[in-house]
Amino acid sequence: MGEFMQRHPAWSVVLTFLAAVLLWAIFAPWPDGLEEVFGKKRIFLNAVFSGVTLGGLYFLVASGFTLIFGLMRNVNLAHGSLYLIGGYLGFEFSEATGLWLISFVFVFIVVGLIGVVLQYVVFRRMEGEDLRQTLVTIGLSIVFADILLWIWGGQSYTILTPDWLSGPTRLPVISSIKSNGEVVYLSYPAVRIAILVAAIVIGVLMWLALNRTRIGMLIRAGVDDREMLAASGVRIQFVFVAVFAFGAGLAGIGGIVGGTFQSLSPGEDVRFLLASLVVVIVGGMGSIPGAALGALIVGLAEQLGSVYAPTYSVVFTFLIMALVLAFRPQGLLGGGR
Amino acid sequence: MKRFLTASVAIGAILAGSPAFAQETIKIGILVALEGAFADGGKDGVRNVELALRQVNNMIAGKKVETVVAPTDTTPDTTIRQARKLIEQDKVDFIVGPLSGSEGIAMRDYAKTIPDKTVINGISGALETTWVDPAPNFFRFNLDGSQWGYGLGSYVVKEKGWKKIATVAADYSFGYTNFLGFAVDFCKSGGDIAERFWVPLGSSDFGGVIAALPDDVDAIYLGVGGTDAINFLNQYEQAGAETNLIGGTIMADQTVLTSKGRAKEALAGTPTSGPFANDNPDPAWQSYVKLYQDGFPENERFPSPSLFGLGYYTATLAAITALEQIGGDLSDGQKKFHEALSNLELDSPTGKIKLNENRQASGTVFVTEVVEGADGNLTSKMVAKVDNVTQTLGMTPDEFRAMGLPSRETPDCAKLRGG
């Protein structure tokens, strides 16, 4: 942070100013003039919160994707399928047992195991052959999509939210102040808040694991120079399998989250693969903070776009991607390698 | 390859050698979407053409009937290519189809290039197909998207007392058209639309739109379908909103009602409208449903006929009836056939159908309400019907034209309420 401020003083001022404006817009009650131009504050707040929660979901899916790419240089185009498998399994598990929270553990383990099998049986055999790996992952995604269609059919599934998370909750954020001075707080779906908190917790834990633990050190070393790490006696295949399983498990968890506040159906796999690609391209391939930033930007762009410019909302995401590719091809937080 | 060649030469020789033989059969091309989002509905369309032909033992006016299926993927260019194949290679006498809106518009234009053949629409529902510059040999025996919405508006105003609403509908041609039919009727009955939201097709996150919905309205009209509809309902419930809902034709259909999860429960009690009602007590409808259910084994059909199936069934029925009237005479550029179709009064499963001067059907629209069935599943219950809904929704053609084609701003609610 300090380093960035020293190198780019002008940008730091602009970014700090923008952040301050955003914080003011969220917490302070809006004056009437602003409400006339932008519509009600409630709408703005909801769009921002929805964007952030959507970003949380994108982060869950994309962080696994970017981790696998960073370490193994493997563009796993079957990542969307892992998302959808996780969602369907989560639906079946929580439907059978009624335990929504436990379904996350269950799905993380099962989809993680699928990841282990994929890495151990398939990708280990074609290490370093980028094109071959990419083609194989495309093939796998098609096979998975058809198997899922065969088992779960073409209908849509939504996962039941547990009672303690259904319905709205009140946030300590002022939505408006009525003429009689009564303060109206923002009410917002509880389940989305839970998702947001979970995504932040997972993100922080991942950052800590990568930067403060031994296994994290190994992974970072592997990202920087695989050959040197292998030469220094680390059994790098174990690290690969562990990272692939972890990334796959995260995608599976993403599936439950997506199934809870959106829905699951054939085609969602491709949608989330595409979203992950955009997120990591914007944020920077292989970077976890980059995935977080990219997810936040894409989520906010989608939601603010759908409220304030519905006609063009589809374009915004790709416009951002094109801009990043044009001016900073390695991604916002991508390394310069 | 060699055998294939021999066979085709032989067939060619038979066809060329006996012109009398060619007259003894009637060849029907079935143009239907069998790929993409409507594939299941398309299959039901093919089944229903078979079903209708089976009732006459594949014989019309003493001639044997042959069918050729041409699969499309709902894109207009594939549709035209397949239609061309049907006419030029398979030499069919007439085409039954297509299935979806933009295909219908493309076929209207193609029909003009084959004036001595006939196209009978399958179930495509774009208003423009028979309203803007219609083709003289294109006949549509199903109602269009705006007619499907008619009758619902007056029902919610008069029976439910919902006078002020906000609308959320899909931002494409069918979304506009279906909404237009609802809005014309709603506004004329004294209703008021406070705000209109248009969402892109394939949206999955409606959080922002739901927050922007005004809270001082009696109900919200939803004109989205399929997965979009389920996502909306799911998020609508999570946001804790509890306003009444009004459904567009694709909002409360089987795709949504048979989905897994709790999202659809928000739909209970929602009125909607469309060209048929499953529990219609009319004997014509009941016997059609029975015919359909007996006609195919249970795992090869829907529990009851789909919208798509009904459309293709009605189209085939119209062709059979008209051909019987003229003794199967397709000579002289099919002039007699065209005339018979234009003047037909068809007794369809959903009531009497007549064509107007644009060869577009006028018929019955059914208003239904989503209720919880005996087994806890949601099903729809017929609550009202409106007979003889015309293409111009009860206005004169000039009034209808003055209103403008369906779009985000059309119709103008205040104007309709005043006039």
Whether A34 is in a domain gets the answer: no
Which residues from chain B sit within 8 angstroms of residue A54, using beta carbons? 205, 207
Name the percent of chain A lying above pLDDT 70: 94
Q: What's the pLDDT at B164?
A: 93
DSSP assignments along B8-54, one per residue: HHHHHHHHHH-HHHHHTEEEEEEEEE-SSTTHHHHHHHHHHHHHHHH
Whether A261 is in a domain gets the answer: yes
Question: pLDDT-derived band of residue B82, with 50, 70 and 90 as boundaries?
Answer: very high
By the 10 Å C-beta count (0-12 exposed, 13-18 middle, 19+ buried), B252 is classed as buried
Token reading at B43: 């299959």
Whether A153 is in a domain gets the answer: yes
Question: Which of B203, B239, B260 is opposite residue A157, by nearest beta carbon?
Answer: B260
How many pairs of residues across A and B have Cβ atoms under 8 Å apart? 115
Our count of domains for chain A comes to 1
Which positions ≥6 away from A83 have C-beta within 8 Å?
A61, A251, A252, A254, A255, A258, A268, A269, A272, A273
Q: Is A189 in contact with B234 (Cβ distance < 8 A)?
A: no
Residue-wise pLDDT tens digits, A192-251: 888 888 888 988 898 888 888 988 888 888 877 888 888 988 888 888 899 999 999 999
Decide if the complex's ipTM is over 0.90.
no
Which positions ≥6 away from A143 have C-beta within 8 Å?
none
Other residues' Cβ atoms within 10 Å of the Cβ of residue A3: 7
For chain B, the average pLDDT equals 87
Whether A30 is in a domain gets the answer: no
Contacts with B, A 189-248, CB within 8 Å = 189-192
B239/A315 Cα distance (integer angstroms): 27
Q: Which of B110, B11, B15, B25 is nearest to B68 (CA)?
A: B25
Residue A156 sits at the chain B interface (C-beta within 8 Å): yes
Q: Which of B42, B48, B96 is nearest to B74 (CA)?
A: B42
Question: Which of B171, B205, B259 is opposite residue A156, by nearest beta carbon?
Answer: B259
Run of H or E including B361: strand B361-372
Q: Is B238 in contact with A306 (Cβ distance < 8 A)?
A: no
Find which of A25-29, B201-205, B300-304 is predicted with most confidence, using mean pLDDT. B300-304
Other residues' Cβ atoms within 10 Å of the Cβ of residue B143: 28
A251/A65 Cα distance (integer angstroms): 8
Q: Is B231 in contact with A263 (Cβ distance < 8 A)?
A: yes
Domain that holds residue A296: 43-165+192-327
A329/A326 Cα distance (integer angstroms): 6
**Alpha helices, DSSP H, located in B139-192:** 145-149, 152-155, 173-188
Q: Which of B78, B99, B277, B244 is nearest to B161 (CA)?
A: B244
Whether A86 is in a domain gets the answer: yes
Q: Measured between CA atoms, how close is A154 to chain B, in angstroms?
A: 9
Residue of B nearest to A305 (CA): B208
Question: pLDDT-derived band of residue A49, with 50, 70 and 90 as boundaries?
Answer: confident
Strand order in the sheet with B59-60: B59-60, B63-72, B25-33, B94-96, B118-120, B138-139
Q: What's the pLDDT at B364?
A: 93
B410/B403 Cα distance (integer angstroms): 7
Residue A314 sits at the chain B interface (C-beta within 8 Å): yes
Whether A22 is in a domain gets the answer: no
Which residues from chain A sit within 8 angstroms of residue B205, using beta carbons? 50, 54, 262, 302-303, 306
Residue of A nearest to B237 (CA): A167
Whether A170 is in a domain gets the answer: no
Q: Measured between CA atoms, how close is A293 to chain B, in angstroms?
A: 20
B15 or B339: which leads in pLDDT: B339
Helix (H, G, I), strand (E, B) or coil at A149: helix
Residue-wise pLDDT tens digits, B185-224: 999 999 999 989 888 877 778 877 888 888 789 999 999 8
A161/A79 Cα distance (integer angstroms): 25
**CATH number of the domain that A77 lies in?**
1.10.3470
Other residues' Cβ atoms within 10 Å of the Cβ of residue A99: 13
A230/A222 Cα distance (integer angstroms): 8
Q: Is B238 in contact with A311 (Cβ distance < 8 A)?
A: no
Tokens 């007056």: give the residue: B154
Whether A148 is in a domain gets the answer: yes
Q: Is B211 in contact with A50 (Cβ distance < 8 A)?
A: yes
Domains in chain B: ranges and CATH: 22-143+282-357 (3.40.50.2300), 147-274+364-418 (3.40.50.2300)
Q: Is B209 in contact with A302 (Cβ distance < 8 A)?
A: no
Residue A330 sits at the chain B interface (C-beta within 8 Å): no
Residue of A nearest to B196 (CA): A310
